[in-house]
């Protein structure tokens, strides 16, 4: 089975540029999570969606960050304008959730390593 | 507030030795607990999970973990470590709003 697919794997760009990270969740999963990993702050949840609807975006650092999930098989995380402090590894994860909260674990993609110069 | 503490930032063991990685959590209700492993340049792979029932859970790659409610702990163990186990290990607790709260991780180094 294909896992969570993220693209690009690496992104290097200059500050001020727009950055778009992409994620394809596992087919059939209805919850999607975006995380950021840095040495200083560890793994932070940025936002998560359930059935394509954003449920909690309290982790989004500021208005420069936005995330969308136009359909069940695709999500984007956009940073505009980007800044050097946004450099990190960004992970997408997906899981299957129901009203019963059957607590299926989250499956992670391999991440996008983002460097803002 | 929910939190996870991994007291050991870095652990070094010899190949073939036993391993225990510590994890303590703070959560008001029955926790859902996880251990993930991250190899360099890779995403997080689920090793095992605890939702309910038997407090000793078995995972992949020969790992196991024991949930101890009285100690608020969920320590990860392996009887004999292999060089390929060198990686970073994260303990996590799931909140009642489906959010995973991660510990800061323990980096495992294995000497031949």
SS3 category, A94: strand
d(CA A90, CA A37): 6
Q: How far is B81 from chain A (nearest CA, A)?
A: 24
Chain A residues within an 8 Å CB radius of B105: 42-43
- Residue A5 touches partner B, C-beta closer than 8 Å: no
Q: Which one, of A16, A2, A31, lies nearest residue A80 by Cα?
A: A16
**Mean pLDDT by groups of 10 residues along chain B of 112 residues:** 91 97 88 92 91 90 95 96 97 83 95 90
Q: Do A42 and B43 touch (CB under 8 A)?
A: no
Q: Do B104 and A42 touch (CB under 8 A)?
A: yes
Mean pLDDT across A79-107: 85
**Residue in chain A nearest B51 by alpha carbon:** A103
Residue identified by tokens 């029932």 is B53
- Please tell me which of the candidates B49, B94, B105 has its beta carbon nearest to residue A42: B105
pLDDT > 70? residue A102: no
pLDDT > 80? residue A97: no
To test the contact with chain B by mutation, choose from A43, A47, A60 the residue with the greatest count of B C-beta atoms within 10 A, namely A43
**pLDDT at position B109, please?**
97
Integer distance in angstroms from the first to the last C-alpha of chain A? 36
Residue A111 token pair: 């991440």
**pLDDT at position A7, please?**
96
Taking CA atoms, B4 is separated from A103, A115, B23, B31, in Å, by 18, 29, 7, 11
Q: How many residues does chain B have?
A: 112
pLDDT > 60? residue A101: no
pLDDT > 70? residue A82: yes
Q: Do B43 and A91 touch (CB under 8 A)?
A: yes
H or E stretch covering A71 = strand A65-71
Integer distance in angstroms from the first to the last C-alpha of chain B? 41
């Amino acid at each position: 089975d294909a896992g969570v697919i993220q693209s690009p794997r690496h992104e290097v760009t200059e500050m001020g540029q727009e950055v778009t990270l992409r994620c394809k969740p596992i087919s059939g999963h209805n919850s999607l999570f975006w995380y950021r990993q840095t040495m200083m702050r560890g793994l932070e949840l940025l936002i998560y969606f359930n059935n394509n609807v954003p449920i909690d975006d309290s982790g989004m650092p500021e208005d420069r960050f936005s995330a969308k999930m136009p359909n069940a098989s695709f999500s984007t995380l956009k940073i505009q304008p980007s800044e050097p402090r946004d450099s990190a590894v960004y992970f997408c994860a997906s899981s299957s959730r129901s009203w019963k909260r059957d607590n299926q674990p989250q499956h992670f993609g391999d991440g996008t390593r983002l460097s803002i110069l | 507030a929910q939190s996870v503490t991994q007291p050991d930032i870095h652990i070094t063991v010899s190949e073939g030795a036993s391993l225990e990685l510590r994890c303590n959590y703070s959560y008001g209700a029955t926790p859902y607990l996880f251990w993930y492993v991250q190899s360099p340049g890779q995403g997080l792979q689920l090793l095992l999970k605890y939702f309910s029932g038997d407090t000793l859970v078995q995972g992949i790659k020969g790992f196991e973990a024991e949930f101890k409610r009285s100690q608020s702990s969920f320590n990860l163990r392996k009887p004999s470590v292999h060089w390929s186990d060198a990686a970073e290990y994260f303990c996590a607790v799931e909140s009642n709003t489906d959010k995973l709260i991660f510990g800061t991780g323990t980096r495992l180094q294995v000497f031949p």
